[in-house]
Amino acid sequence: MSDTTAEPPRVDATADAPAGAGPDARPVLSHKEILTILVGLMMGMFLAALDQTIVASAMRVIADDLNDLAGQAWVTTAYLITATITTPLYGKLGDIYGRKKLFIFAITIFTIGSMLCTLSWSIPSLAAFRAVQGIGAGGLFSLALAIIGDIVPPRERAKYQGYFLAVFGTSSVLGPVIGGFFAGQETILGVTGWRWVFLVNVPIAVAALIVVTRTLHLKHTRLDHRIDYWGALSLSVALVPLLIVAEQGRAWGWGSPTSITCYAIGVAGLVAFFLFERSMGEEALIPLRLFTNRTVASSSVASVFIGMGMFGGLAAIPLYLQIVKGSSPTQAGLQLLPMTLGIMAGSIVSGQLISRTGRYRHFPIMGAAILVLSLYAFHFVGADTPLWKTMIVMFFFGIGLGFNFQPLTLAVQNAVDRRDMGVATSSATFTRQIGGTLGTAVFLSILFSQAGTKISEAFAAIAPTPEFQAALRNPTGGDPAANKAFIEQLQASQQSGGSGAGVGGAALSDSSFINQLDPTLAKPFLVGFSDAMSVVFLVAGGVLVLAFIATLFLPNIDLGPKPGERPATKDEDVVVAPAGH
């Protein structure tokens, strides 16, 4: 609000306006009142955002300790599956029961899931408990953005959503460092260090519950909806088999009977989902009529591909730093700072310019182009690439993400009626998570299916060299016990008629020994993993080309005037669209 206008009277924020309410039904709140509400929302969002980054930097240590590095995709995928499926459900349930109640429920479930994760004894058990966390996380982002969409005019949303991006950026800085610190500790107070990655969520969640309960005061008008349980069930039937085959296909064989069965069940679930959504009409989990809107359709397609490329990159970069560069989890977290700074810079710049100009279309286009170029540049990063060069690419990768995060959400919110604000915001988050879920499963599957082959190729090229043979006879670096064990395994493999490259398979279950070896002996592993990651980055870059194409179809729509200003009509090619258009 402008400081020159009189402060409006106190109004309760109505996060759930009656169906069909127009833009004028939005409550008028002062900047101070909005910030008070934001405190509660940001606490909940910080909880979910921190969890994503804190786990990423500790994942390698967790997977090594649970003896299943190649199976780590399940931990992320399980979380994303439940978060993805529940996201649109929170939109509908929030209309019925009120967003505050659902927000508190989401934090509570997330906390229970976090406590269960500390008890994990294997990768499958951790994945199951992460799925519980995902049920809560599905509501934290979408409900927070929906509430802001309800109480803030379109032109001002970019500014206030910038606070959320600041929270995301802060968590991106703190998460990897905290996660790395805990993962690097043997035990803390008698509890294995990496388990604190999940246990630390509990006090933060308790604080978030207190703040939300005291500051988030929303007057709720109940909207009676039917809950599209069949839609949610069919969506689960579609996603789960396809994600399972994406993870296990390399072991089963992509054309095996088991894989084909998963394809068939997934496609059947997808067809059933569309049929249920069409029959439910306005009560659908995701009303199909939303996608007849050009803005919603373009943003959704772009979000799916951006989610795939984004999570593909985010899954591979920490692994590159820890496995190939030998960084500790804490060091890897700090080395991700350039990407975090890029995200914050892109978000702040785009938010400020959108608030001033009222236009957002060019930011997703530029952001998608920068993401494509960044991932293509990552493709050339090798085992011997100086870290400072990699950090430059990280920064621009973050810029591309920052240019896409809030503009696409703003585009969707501005393109629908207020009565659709909750489900539209959930749909925007949902499509990005769909992409992220698929991207994580597919790209980590590509990484570990390629890693064995690439390590074998690296062994074939490096093992005959004089340097490697000299290191076999007299290793001068690394841990003597690790060197001895590796040399014995290599000799046993060669004596049994193998090439010696077969020992590389051990790295797919536990990679911790690599950084303990003499650097010359470790080089085939480092080159192999790096080459496998190059394939991931190249494929992810190709996916983001599709995102770039989708952003070109976004219409050139103005977000409308700032409060107290007259609409600008000087550009005839620009459509000034209020929230109901």
What is the pLDDT of the chain when averaged over all its residues?
76
End-to-end CA distance of the chain: 24
The pLDDT, as a whole number, for residue 4 is 40
Same domain, 176 and 301: yes
User: Quick one: pLDDT at residue 250?
Assistant: 66
List alpha helices for 66-200, DSSP H.
73-97, 99-117, 123-151, 154-183, 196-199
Residue 129 has pLDDT above 70, yes or no: yes
Asked if residue 362 and residue 467 are part of one domain, the reply reads no
Considering the domain boundaries, does residue 18 fall inside one?
Answer: yes
Beta strand pairing call for 575-576 and 557-558 = parallel
Lowest mean pLDDT among 11-20, 150-159, 218-227, 458-467: 11-20
Q: Which of 205-214, 273-282, 349-358 has the highest mean pLDDT?
A: 273-282
User: Does 236 share its domain with 209?
Assistant: no
Confidence of residue 224 (pLDDT cuts 50, 70, 90): low
Q: Is residue 163 part of a domain?
A: yes
CA dihedral over 477, 480, 484, 485, signed as positive or negative: negative
CB 336 within 8 A of CB 321: yes
- Answer with the one of 218, 253, 284 that is the final residue of a domain: 284
* Ranges 19-33, 104-118, 140-154, 400-414, most confident: 104-118
Segment 166-195 mean pLDDT: 75
Number of domains composing the chain:
3
CA distances from 314 to 177, 217, 292 (A): 15, 36, 32
**Per-residue confidence band for 416, with pLDDT thresholds at 50, 70 and 90:** confident
Q: Both 436 and 316 in a single domain?
A: yes
Q: Using alpha carbons, list the distances in angstroms from residue 398 to 55, 310, 522.
A: 19, 10, 31
Asked whether residue 566 is assigned to any structural domain, the reply reads yes
Whether residues 414 and 471 fall in one domain: no
Task: Return the structure tokens found at 89.
Answer: 């459900």
Residue 136 has pLDDT above 70, yes or no: yes
Same domain, 156 and 169: yes
Task: Say yes or no: 336 and 480 in one domain.
Answer: no
How much is the pTM? Answer: 0.71
Give a yes or no: residue 48 inside a domain. Answer: yes
Look at residue 279 and tell me whether its pLDDT is greater than 80.
yes
Residue type, 253: G
pLDDT of residue 272: 92
My answer on whether 547 and 522 are in the same domain is no
Mean pLDDT is lowest, of 4-13, 310-319, 425-434, 546-555, for: 4-13
Higher-pLDDT residue of 381 and 222 is 381
pLDDT tens string 503-519: 555 555 566 677 778 88
- Whether 207 shows a pLDDT value over 90: the answer reads no
Cα separation of 25 and 17, whole Å? 7
- CA–CA distance, 463 with 181 (Å, rounded to integer): 35
Write the pLDDT tens digit of every residue in 280-316. 877 777 778 878 888 888 888 888 888 887 777 777 7
Q: Do the domain assignments include residue 25?
A: yes
Grade residue 109 by pLDDT with cuts at 50, 70 and 90. Answer: very high
pLDDT at 2: 38
Question: What is d(CA 185, CA 318) in angstroms, rounded to the nearest whole number?
Answer: 18
Do 556 and 422 fall within a single domain?
yes
Q: Are both 222 and 241 inside the same structural domain?
A: no
Position 578 scores a pLDDT of 41
Taking only the tens place, the pLDDT of each residue in 441-457 is 778 778 877 887 888 88
* pLDDT (tens digit per residue) in 531-564: 888 888 888 888 899 989 988 888 877 665 554 5
User: What mean pLDDT is predicted for residues 334-357?
Assistant: 80
Which amino acid type is present at position 326? G
* Per-residue confidence band for 465, with pLDDT thresholds at 50, 70 and 90: confident
**pLDDT one-digit tens code per residue, 41-54:** 787 778 777 776 67
**Domain interval for residue 269:** 229-284
pLDDT in tens, 481-502: 877 877 777 777 666 655 555 5
